[in-house]
Structure 1
Amino acid sequence: MTKISSIDECQASLSDWKVPTPPSFVHEPNPDKIYFVVEQSGPAHNTSESSKVNLKERRFICRATGYPNVNYRWLKNKRDFNLDNPLLSGRVTRIPGEGSFILSRLSIDDEGVYRCIAENGNGTAVDKEIHFIRTYMNLLRITQETLPVDFGEPFSRECEPATSVPKARAYWILMSGQNAERRNFQTINSTNVAINDQGTIFFQYVREEDNIPGFYYTCTSENVELKDYKFGYQFNFNVIRNPALRDSLKPYILPGSQYYSPKEMTVLKGESLELFCIVSGYPDYIPYWSKKDGQLDYSRISWNTNFNKSMKIDNVSFSDAGVYSCKFPNNDRMDKDFTVTVKAAPYWVSLPQNVNVSEHSNVDFNCNAAGDPDLTYEFYKNGQRIYNDDVKYIFVSRRLLIHDVVKGERGEGDNAVYQCRAYNEYGSLWANFYLNIQSFAPVILKGPGVVEAVEGQDAVFSCKAFGSPKPGIMWSSSIYLGEGSDRLHMQDQLDDDYIGRLTFVNVTKKMQGIFSCELENIYNRTKSDGELIVR
């Protein structure tokens, strides 16, 4: 049995060894947009800010690690935003130990672009921008109308949504009753009815069953941030019988175009694509969907309640680009093709990584993002833009190369937090990554100690160290085992965990003695002794 104990007087604890590091954000990313409602808005009859979620106080998150301790500050619209400003008294709640805060009793003046800065003597990290936006939705006046429509005729009506931030989604439902407490709702679920992506309702042909006693087709606006709905224009039908049709529809009514999606459409990767082919006539003209030179992935396709008159593809990928067709059996003049192009807002392939190096190294940061169209890249140092000079800073597409790095104080050296911005017409990305230049003489964190082994066993000494540049390691002994002894295996360099090992194979009592590990780099050298005892 091998027994190990420590007698090294030079040992240091990892917890006692504080390595200076630049700030590095560790919080979950804030949303690009944070919506809020004000405590008091305009006249109640004009604007609604009622919400089923609490948007009257909002949290801004900022948390970073670094040594020495990190200091935080905030910008609003690129100017200092002092959380201790007396004008904010009673409205700001700080989160202890962080740069995070909660802002309450909100007003329109709080709108703006916010940004957190985390800094210490080793660099400045700049978080991405947060757009703080007031959300609201204007009230609508509910008006009702009964429309005379010939039996069997096509019909359509647009839904004008309420003025809203963000833009309200418009659609139709069936609703009865003007009193909010007595309203009843039904979804529209008829084979002869479809609603397009603009909120227009289409009847391929009007039947008497489309007039539902007590209910009105109701234009509805939804603000997804407020989780609120507003109701506007309502209609129902007075279906007029055409004597020529007698008691029923003709065997068929020739099809006519009501709504098609544009022939050419562009959709972003990761978003949804919805194509429409809505045709009037009787019986129901229901299209068959296909993709030329490809297969439809039905696991990502939904038909909503439009009975195949629309096809929605979720989570679009580049492979979804191509030509799609809607075809109507025996009515090829109504067939349509749609050419779909897939573009992409910037997205990360891999984030640039923090780097710890010694002076006079060369560093290569990779801001590995992708998008379509191709991305443009910008680089920053401590939040200030830097430019390609072909000497110190060299930009190669998405890579930042820094040559012969040197350490300096408060931004004078290359040790800093760097930022990358990657953008195209559909969006942008922002990332922080630091260059930490470490210049440390070797320190032994755990020496070889005393190793006890039974004769015939193997014994291993280990020496854990720290230093920058990484120290070289040498082993020495008070005994002589002979040149090229195959009973002694020495590591000539520290591994990735900064540990070096000396292994004795099949120990004998002649191997007892003092063994030393010696660490050296350009700044200094240090040594720690260990002892092998063979029983």
Structure 2
Amino acid sequence: MWKFMHFLCPSSVCFAVPQPPTITKQSVKDYIVDPRDNIFIECEAKGNPIPTFTWTRNGKFFNVAKDPRVSMRHWSGTLDVDFRSGGRPDDYEGEYQCFARNDLGTAISNKIFLQVSKSPLWPKENLDIQEVHEGSQLILACNPPPGLPPPAIFWMSSSMESIHQDKRVSQGQNGDLYFSNVMQEDALTDYSCNARFAFTHTIQQKNPYTLKVLTKHPHNETSFRNHTDIYSARGITERHPSFMYPIGTSSSQMVLRGEDLLLECIASGVPTPDIVWHKKGGYLPTSRTKFENFNKALHIANVSEEDSGEYFCLASNKVGTSRHTISVRVKAAPYWLDEPENLILAPGEDGRLVCRANGNPKPSIQWLVNGEPIESSPPNPSREVTGDTVMFRDIQIGSSAVYQCNASNEHGYLLANAFVSVLDVIPRILAPRNQLIKVIQNNRTRLDCPFFGSPIPTLRCLNLHSLH
């Protein structure tokens, strides 16, 4: 079995080797573009002969020549979509796939899902004054417009002053602003949710909320300042902790292997509860764990299947403790165990391609030849497919092709190209002839003799002087 390059060029000797196409560069699977820019979709490949390129869009042939805004780069499959003379980027959203072909086979790119970044306007709404009793819990909903990618959320007053956050008042992962208990001073400002859209560098502001805090027991500031308990000084009834998010005593969450897990517990109560985190029957992984948002969020980086289990948060104040249990399931998009590798065989030799992937659920394996399902490809008596393995026995000239392995489950897919090249090449010495190598007497030296051939040649080094 050989791994080789398009050209074998040691020293000054160089000769071309036939090679099926290999994809060397491509755009990411989920490709979000700026609506103000031209679009380019990358696809580069090498091979000998030099590959030609075609594209599909949404599963159908994409005729680049018929679209005046689209051009393909020279000696490349990369597409350029130019909007300087007009046109809407949204018209080019869809799923693209690149095909690189030469006489020996066809390599294919991933399916590239192109979307145009969006920053929709906030729907107009008139917000009523929020009346709330001092000491009660409060949630100010943000409900940002569904941008692509989702916007970053932050809260400010209408005069663009940041809202102070602490363990009593803080923003949740969903963008809402949570008050564990409302205080009279919370009415001194208004509250506006802001959405920052990264691609378009724009910020949109929601109409502000105004609070009216109702007090049961009026107090004077002198008695408050001299009192050791801020809540009893104001006549606020103490409350047992209860969860504002998630609601109830239990919930569940799914996360994919390799991603970060972010759990959240936000509790109300008087006094403001403290939050602590635990994992049932185990320990939190210290090196990958962070506590965020005043201990209301548990962040575990780069999760694996071992991070599945039950996590619970405890919300405690002097009145009591509440518990919420979160059942975490770690699933997995397909990941490689054995990625198929290029295979070079001589006529009559045997070989195999292996494609093994794992995931949760376990991925299914599909083989393709030159971009077409292997079941519908021309029959090849030297080829046998058994699940994740393609066996070749007594392979013959004309069997060169590019094979694709697709491993997929409900969470994603992997696509790998591997070429099978059947070569019958006489042995060649690749080093320059009559090369003079100078060495120091009684010292060791190394004589390199690069060579190539198919089948793999047997190499013997001879001392010509010993033959005379």
Instruction: Please give the TM-score of this superposition, normalised by the length of structure 2.
Output: 0.83
Q: AA paired with 2:70? A: V
Q: CA contact under 8 A between 1:211 and 1:237: conserved in structure 2?
A: yes
- Look up the SS of the partner of 2:185 in the other structure: helix
User: TM-score, normalised to structure 1's length?
Assistant: 0.73
Q: Which string of whole-angstrom CA distances, capped at 9 and with x for unpartnered residues, describes residues 355-413 of structure 1?
A: 111122222212232211111000111001113999644344432223332221xxxxx
2:216 to 234, 238, 242: 242
The answer as to whether partners of 1:376 and 1:423 remain within 8 angstroms in 2 is: yes
Query: Secondary structure of the residue that 2:278 maps to in structure 1?
Result: strand
Matched, 1:379 2:367: yes
Amino acid at match of 1:252: E
8 Å CA contact retained: 2:239, 2:271: yes
Q: Does 1:129 align with 2:127?
A: no
1:155-304 paired onto structure 2 within 5 Å = 155-166=138-149, 168-169=150-151, 171-177=153-159, 184-213=160-189, 216-243=190-217, 247-250=233-236, 252-260=238-246, 263-304=251-292
Is structure 2 residue 308 aligned with structure 1 residue 321?
Answer: yes
Question: 1:219 deviation in Å?
Answer: 2.7
* 1:81 counterpart residue number: 62
Q: Give SS of 1:161's match.
A: coil
SS in structure 1 at match of 2:282: coil
How far the C-alpha of 1:158 sits from its partner, in A, is: 2.4
Query: What residue number does 1:398 align with?
Result: 388
Aligned counterpart, 1:465: 451
- Contact 1:220–1:232 (Cα < 8 Å) also in 2: yes
Secondary structure, counterpart of 2:65 in structure 1: coil
CA contact (8 A) 1:461 1:502 kept: no
Task: State the SS of the aligned residue for 2:91.
Answer: helix
SS at match of 1:65: strand
Distance 1:469 1:194, change over 3 A: same
Output the CA distance in 1 between the equivalents of 2:217 and 2:443: 108
Note the C-alpha offset of 1:93. Answer: 5.0
Decide whether aligned partners of structure 1 residues 399 and 225 sit closer, same or farther in structure 2, where only a CA change above 3 A counts. Answer: farther
C-alpha offsets along residues 271-313 of structure 1, whole Å, 9 cap, x if unaligned?
22222222211111112111123222344334433x1122222
How far is the alpha carbon of 1:109 from its aligned partner?
A: 2.3
1:117 has 2:102 as partner: no
Matches of 1:462 and 1:138 in 2, distance apart? 65
What's 1:312 paired with? 299
1:122–1:416 CA contact under 8 A, matched in 2: yes
Mark the CA change 1:298 to 1:455 in structure 2 (over 3 Å): closer, same or farther.
Answer: closer
By how many angstroms is 1:454 displaced? 10
What SS class does the counterpart of residue 319 from structure 1 fall into? helix
Larger radius of gyration: 1
Letter in 2 for 1:80: F
2:404 corresponds to 1:419: yes
Alignment match of 1:502 (pick from 453, 457, 462): 462
- 1:138-160 CA-to-partner distances (Å, cap 9, x unmatched) read 21236454322211111123222
Other structure's SS at 2:334 match: strand
User: 2:24 aligns to what?
Assistant: 26
Contact 1:148–1:237 (CA under 8 A) maintained in structure 2: yes
Which region of structure 1 is more displaced relative to structure 2, 274-283 or 92-101? 92-101
- CA 460–431 in structure 1, closer or farther in 2 if over 3 Å, else same: closer
Q: How does 1:431-442 map to 2 (within 5 A)?
A: 431-442=416-427
Identity of aligned residues (%): 27
Q: Residues of 2 paired with 1:64 and 1:456: CA distance?
A: 49
User: Within 2, Cα distance between the matches of 1:15 and 1:62?
Assistant: 31
2:21–2:48: 8 Å Cα contact kept in structure 1?
A: yes
Which of the residues 21, 39, 63 maps onto 1:58? 39
Answer with 383-392 or 311-320: which moved more: 383-392
Are the equivalent residues in 1 in contact too, given 2:34–2:199 (CA < 8 A)?
no
**Counterpart residue number, 2:75:** 97
Q: Is the 8 A contact 2:158 2:208 kept in 1?
A: no
1:345 positional shift: 0.8
Q: Secondary structure at the match of 1:211?
A: helix
1:196 & 1:460 partners in 2: Cα distance? 67
Change (3 A) 1:286 1:419: same
Aligned 8 A contact 2:278 2:284 in 1:
yes
- State the alpha-carbon separation in 2 of the partners of residues 19 and 292 from structure 1: 60
Shift of 1:220: 3.1
SS of 1:26's equivalent? strand
Q: CA deviation at 1:212?
A: 3.6
Is the 2:94–2:114 contact (alpha carbons within 8 Å) kept by the matching residues of 1? Answer: yes
Q: Are the structure 2 counterparts of residues 342 and 391 from structure 1 closer, same or farther at C-alpha, using a change threshold of 3 Å?
A: farther
Tell me the SS of whatever aligns to 2:208.
strand
| Cα pair 1:447 1:463 within 8 Å, conserved | no
1:530 corresponds to: none
Given that residues 129 and 210 in structure 2 are in contact (C-alpha distance below 8 angstroms), is that contact kept between their aligned partners in structure 1?
yes
Equivalent position of 1:525 in the other structure = none
Alpha-carbon spacing, 1:234–1:358, altered in 2? closer, same or farther (3 Å): same
Q: 1:339 to 1:331 in 2, by over 3 A?
A: farther
Q: Does the CA-based 8 Å contact 1:143-1:232 persist in structure 2?
A: no
Alpha-carbon separation, structure 2, partners of 1:455 and 1:36: 65
Aligned residues: 436
- 1:132-188 alpha-carbon deviations (Å, 9 max, x no partner): 22332321236454322211111123222214344x3574502324xxxxxx24144
In the alignment, residue 371 of structure 1 is paired with which amino acid? G
Amino acid at match of 1:361: E
What letter is aligned with 1:258? M
What residue number does 1:149 align with? 132
**2 CA distance for matches of 1:438 and 1:231?**
65
Residue 157 of structure 1 contacts residue 201 of structure 1 at CA under 8 Å; is this kept in 2?
A: yes
Do the aligned partners of residues 407 and 147 (structure 1) sit closer, same or farther apart at CA in structure 2, a change above 3 Å counting?
A: same
Indicate how the Cα distance of structure 1 residues 24 and 285 shifts in structure 2: closer, same or farther if over 3 A, else same.
Answer: same
The answer to whether the Cα contact below 8 Å between 2:254 and 2:328 also exists between their aligned partners in 1 is: yes
**1:504-523 aligned within 5 A:** 512-514=466-468
1:219-271 Cα distance to aligned partner (Å, 9 max, x none) = 33344544543222421212121128885254732323322275222211122
Structure 2 match to 1:36: 33
Q: Distance in 2 between matches of 1:68 and 1:372?
A: 40
